[in-house]
Amino acid sequence: MTGQVSRMKGRTPNSEMGVIGYVIAAGVAVVLLPILPFVAVLWLVAQLGETDQRETEFAG
Q: Which of 25, 5, 21 is nearest to 13 (CA)?
A: 21
Average pLDDT rounded to a whole number, residues 29-34: 94
Determine the longest span between alpha carbons in the chain, in angstroms. Answer: 82
pLDDT band at 8 (very low <50, low <70, confident <90, very high): low
Domain boundaries, the chain: 17-59
pLDDT band at 20 (very low <50, low <70, confident <90, very high): very high
